[in-house]
Amino acid sequence: MFRNGLVKLPLALAELGLIDEYEFVVQSRLAGHGPTLFAGLSKHVDLRLVSRLEFGSGAVAMGYEPSR
């Protein structure tokens, strides 16, 4: 699904503190596999919820900013 460089980019940006906002969309389905974008992150990034949107399909989009 993702090529190696694309999977490493979010991790590198997070490590350098260059991500101002994270947006995650959670689908109402368990897959049990797939790429893990932030595997190997050297330190925790605390996030603060700034937005939330529910869709009729059951998916939820959540926006977060790093806590500073």
pLDDT single digits (tens) 6-58: 567 888 898 999 999 999 999 888 878 776 778 888 888 999 999 999 999 99
Spell out the alpha helix ranges (H) of the chain.
Answer: 4-15
CA separation for the pair 27, 62 (Å, rounded):
11
Place of tokens 């350098």: 16
Task: Give pLDDT, residue 5.
Answer: 53
Q: Could you tell me the CATH superfamily of domain 4-66?
A: Dihydrofolate Reductase, subunit A (3.40.430.10)
Task: Give pLDDT, residue 31.
Answer: 79
CA separation for the pair 65, 19 (Å, rounded):
8
Task: Give pLDDT, residue 2.
Answer: 46
**pTM for the structure as a whole:** 0.75
